Structure 1
Amino acid sequence: MSTTVLLDATSIPADSGGVGRYLRELVPELARRDDLVLHVACQRRDVPWLTRDAPGAVLHPAPADTTSVARRLVWEQLALPRLARRVGADVIHSPHYTMPLVTRIPRVVTLHDATFFSHPELHGRLKGPFFRRWIRLASQRATRCIAPSQATADEVARWAGAPARPIVVSFHGVDTERYSPGSRAREAEMRRSLAIGEAPYVAFVGTVEPRKNVGPLLDAITRLAERRPELAPRLLLAGGRGWDEPVIERLEAAAPGAAYRWLGYVDEQLLPSFVASSTLVAYPSVGEGFGLPILEALASGVPVVTTDRLAAPEVGGDVAVYCEPDAASIENALEALLDDDARRDELGRRGRERGLTFTWRRTADEHAAVYAGAARRRS
């Protein structure tokens, strides 16, 4: 017997960061399943790619004004439950913390991380209280909550109190065809498009926000370039503008010959080649609910330097290189890896093997099981 699911994808941001990448991969996998009837509420701008990549889903474009966060939340509370009743949904999946509060239809909520509690200084003055409130509500009132790592599930329980029901851990996957060593075949095209020349580089992928710890990374690569200019490749940063204003000012003020360069948001078509063609990926984040850039580097056969904070070790396993989040430790880890060609090759090979075990199909299987269980609770 199939389960009818209404998935609310209206929270996908325009630049597809974070939750957008999760849903861009998950929704097509869910739409292919025979045991689900999938309805997707979406922003109008997302209709083209959903039509192309998830032809099995029934799309319900939301009103144009729901691109406003405040109006989207009102729509979620008032109109989403009505839509769910109209399509005969057995389950509503809210994939980004918030959910409709007044409905008898079972609700599944994805909680991506709990750093709003553990690292409040890394978030904006309004975002922290907002998301802390919704995490508490979801953990107590949702039929089921999904977290992308055990670290996130544990942190939610630690900070928000014991959840009403156990949180289901479902790792994200990675597209191992796009993120693969084979993506280096497009390196020349990627370099031309991004105007980055032919020199080797260290890659960073992520929004410029405080928890990504970009400031110490800039310090580390600058010091390394000053001490050993013959060793240190330039650091190229691919990611949208966040709210780490001091770091953004540094990036924007960087001289043409600086040890780092901010590329801004890099198109998704170029990103796999950008990652695969790098010497290594540096991602010293202090608070990841999962850490997709780590997994994408591994799947691309590229060694990655990260920290052992929160979920990163669940993704990187024993093939990532771990450091402390301070500049000196990052510098030492980068230098040791850049000095050792054989180790980089070995870590790249083992990383690719590990990356192949993280599939979006498995993620979809686990989500479908959660939907079915939530639907049974209603009946």
Structure 2
Amino acid sequence: MLLTSAPTASADYIRDKQWVIDVINFKKVWSESQGEGVTVAVVDTGVDGSHPDLVGQVLKGKDVTGGGENPEDDTDGHGTGMASLIAGHGHGADNSSGVIGLAPKAKILPIKAADRDDFDDDQWAEGVRYAVDQGVDVINLSFGDSLAKPGSEGAKAIEYAQQRDVVVVAGTGNDGNAEVSYPAKLPGVLAVGAVDQSLKIWSNSNYGEGVTLVAPGTNIVRADTNQSNGYAEADGTSDATAYVSATAALVRAKYPDLTAGQVINRLIKSATFLDRDVKKVPDEEYGYGLIRPYSALTMDIPKGPKQGPLAQSSPSTSTNSGAASEGNDSTNQAKEEEKSSSGSIFLIAGIAAVVIIIAVLFAVIRSRRNGRNGGPGPGGGIPPQGTGYPPHSPTGHQPYPNSAPNQGYPTPPGQSAQHPNPYAQQPPHQGQ
């Protein structure tokens, strides 16, 4: 939805329309981190680096659509919008005009993977791999692709990114369906839903198993050089995804020693459900909650395992390397404990069988001595034993917050009375 007053809109008016600035309290967040030294790849329709709010923030990048060398956003404006929400710095006196992003000192690596909204699996997968090879820290995927299921080129490219310690963020989709879209639904991807200005789940935000976090996603003003005044206003999980990617960039800048999984851990542990009556975590609409960038930067949160709290792709579908292979300590330990438990059960079953056989033989001998034909009757043998394996969790996430001991993921701080809820007020909000 374009701004209805686009022909006469002033830059100051654009800044005033950014309600998210007050909700999140950008200035307070920036006292901790602005995303310095971090690069976010925006795999989208390209990025217009000449937009006044993005000048100097956009790296060279790549066009994987075959349309040329430069990833220009000359037909849609969507990618430019995502880049502005992540790393826009505004313009004019003190940069007080135009769009300001949540991580204004992060750099954007533009990857043009589509002209509009028709994302080809092979093309954007190539873009993801290129971005990883350029050393990006975060990849923003503000699109859906129904073909990006496990085993697809897109899925393999995301595994490639995860194995090389890159945070991958994608939107859940804008259909209002009880099904998270791909590639957000893929293992290990930080799947983002959208909330409206009342901070309730947006009616068109896809939900269901796999939602990780939610962020503001309605009435979002963003840069768009395809419009006459250079700006557009829109609703969608795309915008929410950009804000989560920016939050990941802020955390990576402040905590460069954390793995991608541990960055996601901080985002999850610092999130909030506000006053929502959530019965089970992750919730099908809110996931682990609403992002709180300032809390993600300042709360005392244990690093946790290197792999992070989200389920990862099966080793049978990818080659373990880098950070991904290093982060499997807790998984391997669980497997060893599982094998040990199973072995103990079978050992006990074997001893029990021997005892029963001895008892039966004793009864038979005694029966024969007493002149009777004895022995166990029908159905009197050893009952079948269980497998010794715990029941398989139906969700893609590790059990949370009721995790098994030593998982490294306690109940999220910020949900107790010790951490006041920064989103308690209705808009305009005090922020974080």
Decide: shared fold, TM above 0.5.
Answer: no
Which one has a bigger Cα radius of gyration? 2
TM-score (norm 1): 0.33
